[in-house]
Amino acid sequence: MRLQDRVVLITGASRGVGAGVALACARQGAHVALAAKTVDPNPRLAGTLGEVASQIRALGREAIVLPTDVRDSDQIEKMVADTVGHFGRLDALVNNAGAIFWSSVADWPVKRFDLVFGVNVRAAFLASRAAIPHLRKQGGHIVMMSPPIHPEAAPGKGPYLVSKIGMTMVAMAIDAEESAVSVCSLWPITAIKSAATENLGMGSAKDWRTVDILADATVAILAQDPRQAKFRAWLDEDALRTLDGVTDFVKYRCDPDHEPGPWSIELVDPTWKR
């Protein structure tokens, strides 16, 4: 129970990585505040906040549901205030909500640009700013689901990666500015099975890992002493290897007979090697 009685606020928590992180934190003893837009079932996308909350409560932990459009600054402020009002504290914020769109710059619609920046870097900035005063009180963590920085990744994904790398830069700044708040970014080495990978045609099961690898890496990061931990743009394998001594990643395969290649890390650092 590495996160016993800590309070973790997670955006984009109705499905995918956010739901996986929420359940992993609950299994380690945390109470969880779940924020996302999806409250009612969506025929196109499985998962709701209520379903995730029920699974957390079945583990014996407490969960609250916070319907939130992270593009709305007032709703972001209310999300953090309601979390602290209910639990009396906040120990960690996971900025997981994200919007993805890929295109050349010349073909990138302005509305898509605004959506990607609003859901990614702007929302992460707003949520972090609102959370910092509460995290200072006992020491806390912020985790950004964002990558290391590598310019060769830009073609075809420029604005998207700028928004994601912007999250990493915000993380670096907060970590340097706040002595009691540890801020890191976290990014997968392989593609992760999700609605995005399936809908965008990012390979098949043999190319994917489950959300559990990011969930377990998040727990490893949150289990550190926030007053001692320093900023790092973690890759999921490196976080698990360095912090928890994990060297076997077979259990995270979607296809048990195939080890996924380093698909997504090639987007951010083509020189990286296992």
Active site (catalytic) residues: 160
- Residue 140's alpha-carbon distances to 3, 52, 82, 106, 128, in angstroms, are 12, 24, 18, 41, 11
CA 177/CA 4 separation, integer angstroms: 27
Distance CA 197, CA 50 (A): 24
Query: What would you report as the CA-atom Rg of the chain, rounded to the nearest whole angstrom?
Result: 17
Tell me which residue of 41, 136, 123, 39 sits closest to 75, measured CA to CA: 123
N- to C-terminal Cα separation, the chain = 30
Which one, of 131, 128, 132, 133, lies nearest residue 146 by Cα?
128
User: Cβ neighbours of residue 93 under 8 Å, at least 6 residues apart?
Assistant: 8, 9, 10, 80, 127, 128, 131, 135, 140, 141, 142, 143
